[in-house]
Chains A and B, each alone.
Chain A
Amino acid sequence: MRPEPHELQELVRDLHRQATPWLPAGSGSRLEWGPPVQPGPGRSAPLALSTARLDRIVEHNPGDFTVTVQTGTPLVVLQQELARHRQWLTLDWPWGTAEAPATGGGNALGAGTVGGLVARGLAGGYRQRHLGVRDQLIGIGLLRADGTAARAGGKVVKNVAGYDLMRLLCGSWGSLALITEVTLRTQPLPPQRRGLWLHGPLQQLQPLARWLLGSSLSPERIDWHRRTLPDAADAAGAEALLVSLASISPQTLEEQVACIRQQADQAGVRTEVLDPERLEAHLELGRGSSAPRPAWLLRAGVPPRRTDELLRARELDGASAVIGAGSGLGDIWGSAAQLPAYRVEALRRRCRELGGHLTVLRQPPGPAATAIPAWLDAPSRPLIETVKRQFDPKQQLARGRLPGVQPPP
């Protein structure tokens, strides 16, 4: 359903009266990823309530570096509007956004809506410099399961009045409420940007990554790429580091590039300097453009220092991956042939041994009984369930999909 903004509240109230299960949705680009949602009695698919008609940019205040948007606004549209004022939302395009949407290619909805981005709460390589979605969110408007409209936060970048419901809703996967509006911080677009593609054997790249993380340079991103090129060979040479640098001055940018190149030369690592266009092409690879809709898509995280071990893990053989060197977080994907289910299980064990976790976003279709749970129980599971009951007493929203609660088989 794609209700008009003025119909929305009444519709949600109706659904509540009838205790009908439903699923908050944006453009539906990645709706089915993660744990399956129970459709409710007499339905084959859950009733999805889309924010598609909530697509207004309510207020952009360039001087304040804030923007308020309705959550159905496509991310592409928002970034384009901000770019007209030489600003941007410091976030990556979501995984699976094949072409660079900003340059006009690709369809606008491939990158999803602002609401979908916030509801999933995931972030990519720009986290190295700019942190994640949750860190940009300063205000929120929502519609609770019973149809109550509420807001929290505000429109100013610093504000501690009342509880931080922005954080609560960010990454809630549609389980607590329909997010209707958000206010986000924006940043000036960096005047100059350059990329570096550093490739060579893993043993030589690893010390280089460590040096980069410890240096006084402040790259926007330092991402490990593993087998992201379409023709990536299986064994050696499959790894690379993608670094992007931004600056207010072209001169200091060149100096930083030279400094990294020199270090790379010494380490026996090959360097390719990327202009913004080439950089974007490499970023696309990191969003899986060479393997659209893979059977497996996993979200992995390990403590940053253990990233090396994850990359070397045998369990990863055959899979492609992009992992932030500074955060230890990233995406792993592959075909059913490349990644048998037992290996995904082993990979999850490995991530947990290393002190991290693994979320299964997509898996090959098969009987529910053999499916790998998208996520496992968090230590605070009982509390998470209590919060859920408070917000959604009739368990209507995204039934069966609650982050931190292992989905029932």
Chain B
Amino acid sequence: MSRDWAELERGLRRLLPSRAVVAARQELLAYDCDGLTLHRHQPPLVVLPETTEQVAAVLRFCHENGVPFVARGSGTGLSGGAVAESEALVIATSRMRRVLEVDLENRRVVVQPGVINSWVTRAVAGDGFYYAPDPSSQVACSIGGNVAENSGGVHCLKYGVTSNHVLALEVVLPDGTVTTLGSDLDETPELDLRGAFIGSEGTLGIATAITLRLLRAPQSVAVLMADFGSMEAAGEAVRRVTAAGVLPAGMEMMDRLVIEAVNDYLRGVEGFEEYPADAAAVLLIELDGQEREVVAAAELASALCREAGARQVRQAWQEEERALLWKGRKSAISALGRRFPSYYLQDGVVPRSALPRVLAAIEALSERFALPVANVFHAGDGNLHPLILYRDGEPGVRERVQELGAEILRLCVDAGGSITGEHGVGSDKRCYLDWMYGPDDLATMQLLRDAFDPQRRANPGKIFPTPRSCAESARRVQVLKAEGVELPAEAVVF
């Protein structure tokens, strides 16, 4: 359906200050994609409200005129969530960046949705507090985006994801009504619609104020780095550490391809000690808490790594030393990017115990597709981030990349896991959602959506498979099933 956007623009200009309406083609370009640059669609019109009242006015206007809309934070999403595929109004929160309230006594802060994740910790760090969820994109992504995606981070192994840290949400519903979900307390005698809203990827309304829980900064932090001759040995170390009752803040693993790329990339950088060239896996473990407790945990974890076959275990206690150990992990994507100009970052989850066999299966797929796949992942919770590396411009390579990506996700689902651990479904993965859920499951989820948004105007087309967009994928699944794609049998206990 085509709408008269010029007319709508005039209507919106009556509601908003003129600087809040973006209609110039040149400026609209900035909104044509998110972090997943594979899919681009320029929206017809963007508004930049500054207050809850303005968001409410815009959504009432959309409601009256039957206009679909897409919320947008910083546009760092990796599943195409903030992109208006069909003609829709983009409502960006980049002018809603005020910290509304800091209440250290009750350990909470209230922020507008456009506030950048790392600003929250910056605002309270001086008093010894921090906001736990720390996506790698934290210097750029917005709290509103984090809420919509239920984002995780390196430390979510111990501290949980966004949903564990949001107390209350002020939300503007698709009809323009403003409401509050949750309260300042952990428990509220009401249906937990706050919990249901978190992770709903902009399809239930727009969050306009968010109350976050703060944590006390730990007294002491240690980082261990261990290298292993095989992935299996590294996996065994992870298993032993967790079974012993040590709960690290984070556990990250890198495979051989990443190790080589990082060594090349950081060679000569002051203080960086190269990873052993023959290492098949490097494991980083971060421990935090009360000092004596961390010392005990570090000793125990080091011993367990050695028992599992670690060849070298290094410990870092001072901030600079810790940063050096983390440097390799943090540079991984740039390092790979130097060798391979293009990459496609996947996000899948498998049960921890299935990690070794899934990694082996990914390697086999990588060979079959003749595309290198590097693995950096959150080993503690089985969240894989395979990077498919390729050179754009090769004929047909994009299709091959996407197909390989899909097959990796299929492996995850078949192993009892998920098609996404933290990046969301968006438009990128909606055709895979029915690999995990049957029609009744999806219909039940839609009940929730229909309660919030009966006309389905909020971020239309996202998350849920539609017959039109997914016919292609359905055919492919059938082919895969017919071929009997299976995981290799050599299951290694993780």
Q: Interface of A with B (CB < 8 Å)?
A: 61-66, 121-123, 127, 131-132, 134-135, 142, 144, 148-152, 154-168, 170-172, 175-176, 187-191, 214, 216-218, 247-249, 251-252, 255-256, 299, 301-305, 327-329, 355-357, 359, 374-375, 378-380, 382-384, 386-391, 402-404
Contact = CB atoms under 8 A, between A and B. Distances in A.
**Which of A62, A167, A251, A380 is most buried by chain B, counting CB atoms within 10 A of its CB?**
A380
Contacts of A386: 451-452
B285 to A, nearest CB: 14
B49 interface: no
A160 B445 contact: no
Contacts of B450: 390
B185 A165 contact: no
Given A154-B436, A357-B185, A218 B351 contact: no
Given A149-B440, A163-B445, A380-B181, A248 B300 contact: yes
Given A158-B382, A159-B349, A163-B199, A132 B187 contact: yes
Contacts of A252: 290, 292-293, 296
A383 B451 contact: yes
Interface in B222-248: 239, 242-247
A121 B192 contact: yes
A122 B187 contact: yes
Given A63-B352, A154-B436, A388-B191, 15 more contacts: A64-B353, A152-B441, A152-B445, A156-B381, A162-B425, A163-B449, A164-B163, A165-B196, A165-B444, A167-B194, A249-B296, A252-B292, A301-B187, A356-B185, A403-B191
Interface stretch (B118-126, B263-271, B319-327, B416-424): B416-424
B31 interface: no
B442 A162 contact: yes
Interface string B418-462: 111111110001000100111011111101111110000000000
Contacts of B194: 167
Given A135-B160, A252-B293, A161 B193 contact: no
Interface of B: 105-107, 149-150, 152, 156, 160-161, 163-164, 173, 177, 179-181, 183-196, 198-200, 216, 218-220, 239, 242-247, 289-293, 296-297, 300, 349-353, 378, 381-383, 416-425, 429, 433, 436-438, 440-445, 447-452, 463, 493-494
18 contacts: A61-B353, A155-B351, A159-B418, A160-B150, A161-B436, A162-B441, A162-B442, A166-B195, A167-B163, A188-B242, A189-B245, A214-B216, A299-B187, A302-B185, A304-B106, A304-B107, A328-B185, A390-B448
Nearest to A329: B187
B190 A404 contact: yes
Nearest to B239: A63
**Which of B160, B181, B243, B245 is most buried by chain A, counting CB atoms within 10 A of its CB?**
B245
A6 to B, nearest CB: 18
Contacts of A248: 244-246, 293, 296-297, 300
Given A303-B106, A303-B184, A158 B421 contact: yes
Nearest to A405: B190
B245 A158 contact: no
Contact of A355 (B184, B243, B297): B184
**Which of A121, A159, A356 is most buried by chain B, counting CB atoms within 10 A of its CB?**
A159
Nearest to B201: A160
Contacts of A303: 106, 184-185
Nearest to A163: B445
A305 B353 contact: no
Contacts of B433: 161-162
A391 B450 CA distance: 10
A305 B195 CA distance: 24
Contact of A165 (B150, B188, B445, B493): B445
A284 to B, nearest CB: 22
B438 to A, nearest CB: 8
A96 B196 CA distance: 30
B107 A63 contact: no
Contact of B290 (A62, A150, A256): A256
A155 B416 contact: yes
Contacts of A132: 186-187
A167 B192 contact: yes
B382 A157 contact: yes
A236 B449 CA distance: 54
Nearest to B352: A64
**Which of A161, A214, A216, A375 is most buried by chain B, counting CB atoms within 10 A of its CB?**
A161
Given A63-B353, A378-B189, A150 B441 contact: yes
A184 to B, nearest CB: 14
Contacts of A175: 191
Given A216-B291, A303-B184, A387-B451, A156 B350 contact: yes
A270 B409 CA distance: 58
B192 A63 contact: no
Contact of B191 (A142, A171, A251, A327): A171
Contacts of B149: 160
A251 B290 CA distance: 13
